[in-house]
Amino acid sequence: MSLKLPVYSELVKAFYSNLEIQEDTLISEVYGIKMVIDQSLFYDLTQLPSKGVPFEGTLIDDWKFDFSVHDARWLVCTNQVDMTGRLLAGSWAFESRILHYLIVRILLPRSSNLVQVSEEDFIVMWAFHKGLQIDWAHPVRYRMHKALRLNAPLPYPHLVTLLLQHFNIPLDSEPYVPIK
């Protein structure tokens, strides 16, 4: 999740424009080169662990008996916070702010409302605190699938660069955004 590769914005757009997801296989084409990324190749390239539950943004059935929104709020907040209203970053414990930043910027990126914790964020933070395992390849592929909607943000541009490199897509003459 901490890839440090340049981002080829036009090729990322081409990758997502041609992306199809069939079961757990990503299929795309860039410059006429077909890329088929099955689960095995995805795990090999990303080194994401394949242990845990396939999280898709909502509470997993196995976790429903243990999870409570109230308890999840207590895990992320400082003691002085009113637990009835919206929770913004300023009311969280420092460690929770860092964890939330990693979730909304890297693990499950989104492009808006970054300071307000969503139900999905609560569930992931709660799972981390409880030591529950998530099959991270699954939510990454799920997020990529959500990017196929009209005007959706295109997540994981560094991962797309890794995929382009693996399939020997010519990158030499492409404009890119260097790593900061």
pLDDT at 28: 96
As a whole number, mean pLDDT of residues 17-29 equals: 92
How does 75-111 read in b/e, with b if 16+ C-beta sit within 10 Å? bbbeeebeeeeebeeebbeeebeebbeebbeeebbbe
Residue 1 reports pLDDT greater than 60: no
pLDDT at 2: 64
pLDDT range class, residue 48, cuts 50, 70, 90: confident
3-state secondary structure of 7: strand
Residue 178 reports pLDDT greater than 90: no
How many other CB atoms sit within 10 Å of the CB of residue 125? 21
Which range, 26-30, 111-115, 133-137, has the best average confidence (pLDDT)? 26-30
pLDDT at 85: 65
**Percent of all residues in the chain with a pLDDT value above 90, rounded to a whole number:** 31
The rounded distance, in Å, linking the Cα atoms of 178 and 130 is 37
Rounded to 10 degrees, the C-alpha dihedral 55/58/60/64 comes to 150
Taking only the tens place, the pLDDT of each residue in 71-124 is 777 777 766 666 566 766 677 778 888 888 888 888 888 877 777 788 888 899
pLDDT at 136: 87
As a whole number, mean pLDDT of residues 2-10 equals: 84
Q: Counting Cβ atoms within 10 Å, is residue 126 exposed (0-12), middle (13-18) or buried (19+)? A: buried
Q: Are the CB atoms for 140 and 159 separated by under 8 Å?
A: yes
Mean pLDDT score of the chain = 86
pLDDT at 5: 86
pLDDT range class, residue 162, cuts 50, 70, 90: very high
As a whole number, mean pLDDT of residues 121-133 equals: 89
As a whole number, mean pLDDT of residues 54-75 equals: 85
As a whole number, mean pLDDT of residues 120-134 equals: 89
CA neighbours closer than 13 Å in the CB half-sphere of residue 108: 24
